[in-house]
Amino acid sequence: MPGFKVAMCTGNPGKFRTAQEHLAPWGIEVEQVALDLDEIQTTSVAEIARHKARQAFEVLRRPLFVEDSGFYIEEFGGWPGPMVKQALEAFGPAGLTHLADLTEKRTCRFASAAVYADTDGALHTFADDSRKPGTIAPAPDRGTGPRAWSDLWSIFVPEGATSTLSALPPTEQDRIFAEWRGESVVAALGAWLAEAETERR
C-alpha cells in the first residue's frame, strides 16, 4: 500500500516505533500525533481504545488509530488491567513484584486492542486477549534490552524463559518479538487495511 498514511494517536515514542515496525510490511506510513484524550475507567482495553478513537477523530477528522494495552494479574481478578500506568506510578515495578508475592503462581498476561477510525469516523476494532501468559519476577531486572520502552519489561518473564524480557539475550528477545508481531493487533490492522485497499481498487 505505498503512499497510504495513517495517524497514530499516542504520546509514547516506544509504542509508536513498534507500530511502525508492525505496519511496515504493508508499506503503511505512520504519523505520530499526541493528543490529550480522556481515558474511561473500565477493565476492557477495547472500550478504552474505542473511546479514545472517537475523541481523536473529532479533533483530527481523518483516518487514525489508537492502540491500548493492559497488564493482567490473574489471581487479582485481572487487576491492574488497563490501569497499569496508574499502578506503576503508585507502586513502581518493585511494588508490583511485592504484590505478586501474595499470589500462588505469579501468573500475568498482556492484552491489547487497536481501534481504527476511517474517513467517515466509523470504528473498526482489533483485539487480542489470548496472548501467552508469563509470570512476574521476584524483583525488577534491568537488562540491556534495546527496546524496553515499558517498565513492565523489567518484571515480565515470558513463558518458557528464565529471566525478564528486558534481561533476555538479544537473540531470545528477537524470537519473542517476532512471535508477538504475529499476534499484534496493529499488524492485524495493517493486514485489514491492505485487503480493504486492494478491494477498493
Report the CATH number at residue 47.
3.90.950.10
Residue 35 has pLDDT above 70, yes or no: yes
The continuous run of DSSP H or E covering 53 comes out as: helix 45-60
Tens digit of each residue's pLDDT (9 = 90 or more) over 64-83: 999 999 999 999 999 999 99
Structural domain that includes position 106:
5-200
Residue-level pLDDT at 143: 60
d(CA 35, CA 182): 28
The pLDDT mean for the chain works out to 89
* Residues identified as active-site: 68
> Which residues are CB-contacts of 46 (< 8 A; sequence separation ≥ 6)?
68, 113, 115, 125, 127
Q: What is the pLDDT of residue 67?
A: 95
Q: Which of 4-18, 85-99, 139-153 has the lowest mean pLDDT?
A: 139-153
Average pLDDT over residues 95-118: 96
Interhelix angle 13-23/185-200, rounded to 10 degrees, is 50
pLDDT on residue 126: 96
Q: Note whether 44 and 82 are within 8 A (CB).
A: yes
In this prediction, residue 173 carries a pLDDT of: 86
How many structural domains compose the chain? 1
In this structure, the number of other CB atoms found within 10 A of the CB of residue 170 comes to 11
Show the beta-strand stretches assigned E in 106-153: 107-117, 123-128, 134-136
Give residue 52's pLDDT.
97
Q: Quick one: pLDDT at residue 198?
A: 64
